[in-house]
Structure 1
């Protein structure tokens, strides 16, 4: 009789743990999806802003059409990416082309003085900050999810219910990872 009660308690504890562990994965997965959706909203704002920025620059720097075309192509590639990995890679490319677009503005004083361009540049900077913050949040919730997928005993539940590691948004360009060298003597 006592052995039956002990076995029932052990089975009950295991069942409660399984339910709690599964619900923890559901919650963590939903947090990852919500974080990506939030980041996606900010990236969409940036995609919508880029054509206006390109058109403004085009009026001042018509012979820079190659750079402008690269920005548009990078934007379209990022918008059409279907997986998180593709999106991360396309976003890194887009960020690089936007830097080259702003480098063009340095060569055109009239463009830098244009209020519309300055407003667009300011909006884009705010959106870039929002994207950076949403990437931090996304990476934080993905880290929690990935830890659950890899740590014992929750990795058992992950394997049973086919939860796998999710990719993080990372800087892929090695050039961007290097420390910036500031030299005031040059």
Structure 2
């Protein structure tokens, strides 16, 4: 083997050793970013499912609780905000607002025992409870995917690859400040 061929093979070997971690890191970041996108899509899908159930639930309750118009308006406004949310933080805030309005609606339902025994209402509540559980799991899955992605892009040498290829940190799905407060429900009907 001549000396030139050997030098060329050594240079090629060194280049492979240098480029391999870059390619590997890039591919890992792409995979993790896709996991984040899938998890975000799952949240959106479950939020849409809940949003589709709410009009049926509201219509069922309206027949029994006509004087609770403010709660129905709050639910409609929160659904509209959720539909118009442009990013994860806006979606989380709108989601929390809608959850609060639904909680107030469910507290109102306690005053109407005949409503609680209504077959349509019970069926809708079972579906809504299942959907709320799905949303909670989807939020956790999203935050887990974001954590893995953000950790990967911050570790060396991936941080260098991330900065070159502009992989940015993803936001976590957080509860809004108001979500920690117990919703206030006023059972006074203006008497």
For the criterion TM > 0.5, the same-fold answer is: yes
Structure 1: distance between partners of 2:87 and 2:95: 12
- Quote how far apart the aligned CAs of 1:169 are: 1.1
Aligned to 1:58: 62
Gaps of 5+ in 1: 179-186
Aligned to 2:126: 122
Do the aligned partners of 1:158 and 1:164 also contact (CA within 8 Å) in 2? yes
Query: How many residues are treated as equivalent by the alignment?
Result: 178
Structure 1: distance between partners of 2:43 and 2:175: 15
Structure 2: distance between partners of 1:87 and 1:114: 32
Structure 2: distance between partners of 1:6 and 1:19: 20
Aligned to 1:184: none
Q: Whose helix proportion is higher, 1 or 2?
A: 1
- Residue 159 of structure 2 is aligned to residue 155 of structure 1: yes
Aligned to 1:168: 172
- Quote how far apart the aligned CAs of 1:175 are: 5.8
Q: Secondary structure at the match of 1:37?
A: helix
Structure 2: distance between partners of 1:89 and 1:7: 55
TM-score for the superposition, normalised by structure 2: 0.87
Gaps of 5+ in 2: 183-191
Structure 1: distance between partners of 2:94 and 2:173: 11
Structure 1: distance between partners of 2:59 and 2:144: 37
- Trace 1:71-86 onto structure 2 (pairs within 5 A): 71-86=75-90
Superposed CA RMSD in Å reads 1.8
Structure 2: distance between partners of 1:132 and 1:50: 17
| Relative contact order higher in (CA < 8 Å, ≥ 6 apart) | 2
- Trace 1:175-186 onto structure 2 (pairs within 5 A): 176=180
- Quote how far apart the aligned CAs of 1:177 are: 8.0
Q: 2:38 aligns with which of 34, 37, 44?
A: 34
After superposition, give the CA deviation of every residue in 1:3-30 in whole Å (9 maximum; x if it has no partner).
7655432321111111111111110111
After superposition, give the CA deviation of every residue in 1:40-84 in whole Å (9 maximum; x if it has no partner).
111111010000111111111111000111011101111111111
- Quote how far apart the aligned CAs of 1:151 are: 1.6
- Trace 1:104-115 onto structure 2 (pairs within 5 A): 104-115=108-119
Do the aligned partners of 1:46 and 1:127 also contact (CA within 8 Å) in 2? yes
